[in-house]
Amino acid sequence: MSYKKHFLIKYRWWIIGASLLITLAFAIQIPHARIDPNLDHYLPKTMQSRVNTEKIEKIFGGNDMLMVVLQAKNVLAAPTLRRLKHISGELNHVEGIGKILSLFDSKDIRSEGGAMIVEPAIKRIPKTKEERELLKKTLINNDLVYKIVVSEDFKYAGIIIILNENVDQDTLMTRVSEIINQNPGPEKVFIGGLPYLNSIIS
Does residue 87 have a pLDDT over 70? yes
Provide the 3-class DSSP secondary structure of residue 125. coil
Does residue 90 have a pLDDT over 90? yes
What pTM was computed for the model?
0.70
Average pLDDT rounded to a whole number, residues 125-152: 93
pLDDT of residue 127: 92
Average pLDDT rounded to a whole number, residues 43-57: 67
77-81, 91-95, 194-198: least confidently modelled range: 194-198
pLDDT of residue 117: 84
Cα pseudo-dihedral 172, 68, 194, 171, rounded to 10: 10
